[in-house]
Amino acid sequence: MLTTSDKTAGFSPEDGDRIAILRGHAEHLAPVLTAGFADSFDRFGGAKLVLLGEATHGTCEFYRGRAAITRRLIEKHGFNIVTLEADWPDVARIDRYVRHRAPEPSREEIFRRFPEWMWRNEEFREFVDWLREYNEALPDTRRVELRGLDVYSLGASIDAVLRYLDRVDADAAARARDRYGCLTPWQQEPAGYGTAAISGDANCEREAVDQLRELLQHRLEYSAKDGESFFDAAQNARIVRAAEEYYRTIYRGSVASWNLRDRHMFETLRRLMEARGPDARAIVWAHNSHIGNAAATAMGWEGEFNIGELARTAFGNDVIAIGFGTDRGKVAAASSWDYPMRIMNVLPARNDSYEALFRQTNVPCSLTDWSAAQRQELRDALSVSKLERAIGVVYRPDTELMSHYFKAVMSEQFDAFVWFEETAAITPLGSRLTSPQTYPQGL
């Protein structure tokens, strides 16, 4: 058996002390697929907003862990909105399925934009089926919503606005087609709009703003006919406005485009909570880089903010941010943007990282919580700037330090951390369609 000194060999004395403190506070969790896994998260049931992260976009345990925690918060604590780092129109179709509403016609399969495996996977599908079953016994007004927060759906959002106006106001639909005609050449390849904008060959800002403004001017009239449909159309018009600006600024600097995207996601979240009313309780599924307080990371030190920082400012102590991490295993990812998905090996974490400290606890699956006032020793142990790993849809092991590590102060970044020492890749769905006819096409 390894002694304590053996376990911390190769680490500084200060890190050895941190490992000992982490080992003392790491709460063993049951396996993620067992009923008891999520019991320990009841302590967060009093929050209005729980942010659940992930250190990669392709790890099975992160999806199943978030699903289990979300089920617990819904069943035992009344949470009624689940939001995803995903496009609004795609998730709107899943939302109609889980809330037992009639499907909306669409020309496209959902989640077909790269990286399609991020939501077209067995783990997410299992949660969707559970949520539909849970909602079935509830009245419509109490059913749990499933919503997308992201900004990338330029073409699908334009189509959604036009379909809505075709139903409620033919003259307004004609004006919208005229305005959105400015963006039509780039509906399928919106990145091309950014190239045209930066070269001075295109600028559709005024048209996108004017269309959103006109739609909102008819809020009372349209809402009286169908408030839910108007809310969806207005959100899609906001996405067109935000996407136009996002693609116009993306080539001018990563900070500006990142901030625009995360502000849009946060404003969407806040709008959903306001629409739900005073009893709104929301959960966010997004990457650690979006849900952890950016001000405690190299991102924030370089001028970026994120959902977690904005949520903390707006909701204060009613927010709980929970990061997720792993040491090694497998991940579904691509070697470059728009490349095919592969199952890739995740390298063991560097010894100068936070992940290495959690690995040295020798607890294979744990919750470490420093949100309580009496956990000052733990907060102090995590109040040092160390490397932390972030794998998105692209993973480049050969340049991992440069491509995937950043500095962070974990005690200020999250309120708690879920640790899986070794993880497996998600299971992509491919094109199999085995669900009932009411299930959204392609998931």
**C-alpha to C-alpha distance for 56 and 352, rounded to whole angstroms:** 19
Quote the CA–CA distance of 375 and 338 in Å, as a whole number: 44
The pLDDT value recorded for residue 443 is 53
Residue span(s) of the chain under CATH 3.40.1660.10 come to: 4-150+262-423
Nearest to 40 by CA among 65, 57, 20, 58: 65
pLDDT at 199: 82
* Dihedral Cα 217, 221, 222, 223, nearest 10 deg: 100
Rounded Cα distance, 44 and 318, in Å: 10
pLDDT computed for residue 188 by the predictor: 83
State the pLDDT at residue 440: 60
Q: Which fold has domain 4-150+262-423?
A: EreA/ChaN-like  fold (3.40.1660)
How far apart are alpha carbons 319 and 269 in whole angstroms?
13
Query: Please, what's the largest Cα pairwise distance for the chain?
Result: 78
In this structure, the number of other CB atoms found within 10 A of the CB of residue 223 comes to 14
For residue 216, give both structure tokens.
């909102």
The 3-class SS string of the chain reads CCCHHHHCCCCCHHHHHHHHHHHHHCEECCCCCCCCHHHHHHHHCCCCEEEECCCCCCEHHHHHHHHHHHHHHHHHHCCCEEEEEEEHHHHHHHHHHHCCCCCCCCCCCCCCCCCHHHCCEHHHHHHHHHHHHHHHCCCHHHCCEEEEEECCCHHHHHHHHHHHHHHHCHHHHHHHHHHHCCCHHHCCCCHHHHHHHHCCCCCCHHHHHHHHHHHHHCHHHHHHHCHHHHHHHHHHHHHHHHHHHHHHHCCCCHHHHHHHHHHHHHHHHHHHHHHHCCCCCEEEECCHHHHCCHHHEHHHHCCCCCHHHHHHHHHHHHEEEEEEEEEEEEEEEECCCCCCCEEEEECCCCCCEHHHHHHCCCCCEEEEECCCCCCHHHHHHCCCEEEEECCCCECCHHHHHHHHEEEEEHHHHCCEEEEEEEECECCECCCCCCCCCCCCCCC
How far the first Cα of the chain sits from its last, in Å, is 48
Give the model's pLDDT for residue 312: 97
Take residue 429 and report the two structure tokens written for it. Answer: 């769905």
Tokens of 281: 């309780």
Provide the 10 A C-beta neighbour count for residue 16: 18
Residue 90 · residue 111 · CB < 8 Å: yes
Instruction: Give me Rg for the CA atoms of the chain.
Output: 22
**Total-model pTM:** 0.94
Beta-bridged to residue 257, according to DSSP, are none
Q: Distance (Å, rounded) from C-alpha 274 to C-alpha 264?
A: 15
Tokens of 188: 């399928």
Q: Record the tokens describing residue 98, joined without a space.
A: 């889980």
Per-residue model confidence as pLDDT tens for the chain (443 residues): 334 444 566 789 999 999 999 999 999 999 998 989 999 999 999 999 999 999 999 999 999 999 999 999 999 999 999 999 999 999 999 999 999 999 887 767 889 888 999 999 999 999 999 999 999 999 999 999 999 999 999 999 999 999 999 999 999 999 999 999 999 898 888 888 888 888 888 899 999 999 999 999 999 999 999 999 999 999 999 999 999 999 988 877 789 999 999 999 999 999 999 999 999 999 999 999 999 999 999 999 999 999 999 999 999 999 999 999 999 999 999 999 999 999 999 999 999 999 999 999 999 999 999 999 899 999 999 999 999 999 999 999 999 999 999 999 999 999 999 999 999 999 999 744 344 444 465 45
CB 363 within 8 A of CB 23: yes
Tokens of 231: 């809310």
Neighbours of 174 (CB within 10 A): 12
Measured from the Cβ of residue 338, the count of other Cβ atoms closer than 10 Å reads 9
- How many Cβ atoms sit within 10 Å of the Cβ of residue 48? 18
CA distance 95 to 12: 50
Q: Are 346 and 391 in contact (CB under 8 A)?
A: yes
Give residue 13's identity as a one-letter amino acid code. Answer: P
